[in-house]
Amino acid sequence: MVKIYTKKGDDGSTSLWYGGRVPKHHGRTEAYGALDEACSQLGLARALCDDSQAELAADLLRLQDDLFVAGAELATAPEAAARLEDGVSRTTEAMVAELEGLIDRYMSEVQLPPKFVIPGGNLLSAQLDVARTVIRRAERRISALNEEGELAGETVIHFVNRASDLAYAMARYADVDDPALFEGRGKA
């Protein structure tokens, strides 16, 4: 049996990848913890996809994988950033561009109303909106880390911003089956 507990965090600290420890409430752990939470929320959304949504499910899995890349980058102290590998443990502008392509593809399939969209059109779209808000929380934490000089680069901010946009686009795409969804909802 493999034991998953080490007892090293019993003092309220946690290890960073490639060395170092920070308090569990540190902005860095808050940021990558929020991405971990978002990944779980996206997993639930993926589990809600039916057979007709195989492409959406595959795109969700890819987004989950990419969020782990961003999480690995955030779990590394800036002084160890040279040890990170592009696309594996460090986000890249190519990853940002890939998300932009997915956003454009999903948004080409929907028409947004001229007012705010209230989440809850169906279970899948609502779950994607929950994931989106968790990604936005991570983005706020990452932005604070950047202001504190705690990031090795800003690409991770760009990536996480697009990731939340993609979750939004996917949620609206999941709403397409409900034409009455946007009628009379929200305020401009």
Q: Is residue 18 part of a domain?
A: no
Query: What is the DSSP secondary structure assignment for residue 118, as one 8-state letter?
Result: P
Quick one: pLDDT at residue 183?
46
21: which strand partners? 15
Quick one: pLDDT at residue 19?
81
Q: Is residue 21 part of a domain?
A: no
Q: From the CA atom positions of the chain, what is the Rg in Å? A: 18
Report the number of distinct structural domains present in the chain.
Answer: 1
- Token representation of residue 48: 């809600």
Q: Is residue 126 part of a domain?
A: yes
Quick one: pLDDT at residue 5?
82
Quick one: pLDDT at residue 178?
53
Q: Is residue 186 part of a domain?
A: no
Query: What is the DSSP secondary structure assignment for residue 117, as one 8-state letter?
Result: P
8 A C-beta contact, residue 173 and residue 100 = no
Quick one: pLDDT at residue 33?
96
Quick one: pLDDT at residue 177?
60
Residues 6 or more apart whose CB falls under 8 angstroms from that of 179 comprise: none
- CATH no. for residue 170? 1.20.1200.10
Quick one: pLDDT at residue 3?
85
Q: Is residue 15 part of a domain?
A: no
Q: Quote the domain boundaries for residue 146.
A: 27-175
Residues of the chain short of pLDDT 70, as ranges, are: 177-188
